[in-house]
Structure 1
Amino acid sequence: MASAPAGQIIDTYWNGAIEAQESLPPSIPRPQLWHWHDWTDQTWAYRSELYEYVAADTVAMHAVITAPLNMPADWWTSARTALQNITTIDTARVTVQPGFLAWAMPRYLGISASDYTALPWAPAHGDFHFANLCAPALRILDWEGWGLAPAGYDAAMLHSYSLLTPDVANRVQHELAHLLATPAGRYAELTVIAELLDAAEQGINRELTEPLRRRAATILGRSAVAAGGSG
């Protein structure tokens, strides 16, 4: 079920699930969207969606990981395959707005997004964290925000949300090193960090603030990334 004030619908998120159903290949493990229905009243628009039932639980209840996880090797193999298949989708949808990065990267990281324009972008799930991933058989939920983002964005998000549990963060780095341990992957991490620091400033997952700053400092080769974008 989705709702939004009439006249204020953000198409990227409002239509994301439908466009995923129409665009994503069967090789990407996800619940099928079978039906949807729209209606409005004088001030609000509504959409109901009927999905295929998924019996498996999500890996975690929340995006921010605060306890160890023990995912088997074959789950990580499935995740790597799915992430590769996502990047092959043909789309003009955009998950990360360049204008936001032009504003947020100087503010939160003390860097300019224009320094990274030569690095590739690719289709991404856009909200790839353990609360949207099922196990033991991988299913990827919540496709509302998928679209183009810096290459490696999904792996970077999984890593950033795991920073409070170093063993999990280290496992993500190890299993997804082909995406993260590259110039593009480091830029993707900085992108996610800027987004999550902006969210933390608004009161969302504030507990990630210091780990995110420390991670950004490591990527940038600094001793610290301070609040407000000073390095």
Structure 2
Amino acid sequence: MAELYDKITASTITTHEPILREAPDLDDAWWDGLSTALDAIAAVPSDRVAVRQEYLDRAIPQYLGISIETKVPAWTTAHGDLHWANLTGPTLTVLDWEGWGAAPAGYDAALLYSYSLLVPETAVQVRSRLGHVLDTPTGRFAELVVITELLQTITRGDNLDLEGVLRSRLSALTR
């Protein structure tokens, strides 16, 4: 069973998968709206959980293959599944809210960035527009969390195209 809250007529940025494969044509208002939305989501108090500390304690060493501190430095509320198939354009709407809850600060921005890595010009734009979140110690930790999760999906046969760029990003983050 599903509930319909609003009928959305705008198209999603990608149609069948979260990975971005070509640069979207998004204006400044779209990017400003996304940044504002993510900041507003992060400020909402919630008892829901999108990412569990216990998972990170186990999965980070397993999938990253390195020994780092796994304790989340800061928690905020996140959409929890922010990727290109859950965003519309040219008018921004954020779709698919069933996974929202507490996550490492910067999680949504890190997830969108990771799903953008195959389109370098868009990845640069995500970093530029969401750098206030990503270019911080908590944002870098959130990137490690997302890379952990996506590398786990690769072991199940999903997101295979991302493996090389994720490992490159992991290397850059852990230098």
TM bracket (short chain): over 0.9
Q: 1:188 aligns with which of 121, 125, 142?
A: 142
Report the counterpart of residue 42 of structure 2 in structure 1: 87
Q: 2:29 aligns with which of 58, 61, 74?
A: 74
Report the counterpart of residue 50 of structure 1 in structure 2: 4
| Distance in 2, Cα, partners of 1:107 & 1:118 | 17
Q: 2:63 aligns with which of 87, 90, 108?
A: 108
Which one-letter code corresponds to 1:158 in the other structure? L
Look at both structures and tell me which one has the larger radius of gyration over its CA atoms: 1
Q: Superposition pairs for residues 1-231 of structure 1, below 5 Å?
A: 47-61=1-15, 62-112=17-67, 115-117=69-71, 119-221=73-175
* Post-superposition CA distance 1:116-137 (Å, at most 9, x none): 5361110000000111011122
| C-alpha contact 1:58 1:134 (8 A) present in aligned 2 | yes
| C-alpha contact 1:94 1:148 (8 A) present in aligned 2 | yes
Which one-letter code corresponds to 2:110 in the other structure? A
> SS where residue 148 of structure 1 aligns?
strand
Which one-letter code corresponds to 2:143 in the other structure? E
Which one-letter code corresponds to 1:167 in the other structure? E
* Post-superposition CA distance 1:78-127 (Å, at most 9, x none): 001000100111211110111111111111213446x2536111000000
> SS where residue 210 of structure 1 aligns?
helix
| Distance in 1, Cα, partners of 2:29 & 2:65 | 39
| C-alpha contact 2:18 2:115 (8 A) present in aligned 1 | yes
| Distance in 1, Cα, partners of 2:104 & 2:52 | 10
Which one-letter code corresponds to 2:52 in the other structure? Q
| C-alpha contact 1:102 1:112 (8 A) present in aligned 2 | no
Between the aligned residues of both structures, percent identity stands at 45
> SS where residue 50 of structure 1 aligns?
coil
Report the counterpart of residue 10 of structure 1 in structure 2: none
Highest RCO, 1 vs 2 (Cα 8 Å, sep ≥ 6)? 2
Compute the displacement of 1:210 (Å). Answer: 1.3
* Post-superposition CA distance 1:176-208 (Å, at most 9, x none): 000100000000000000000000100111111
Number of equivalences: 174
| Distance in 2, Cα, partners of 1:185 & 1:129 | 17
Which one-letter code corresponds to 2:14 in the other structure? A
Q: Which runs of structure 1 show a deviation greater than 4 angstroms over 4 or more consecutive aligned residues?
A: none
- TM-score with structure 1 setting the length: 0.72
| Distance in 1, Cα, partners of 2:136 & 2:25 | 26
| Distance in 1, Cα, partners of 2:122 & 2:57 | 31
- TM-score with structure 2 setting the length: 0.95
Report the counterpart of residue 22 of structure 1 in structure 2: none
More helix by share: 2
Unaligned runs of 5+ in 1: 1-46, 222-231
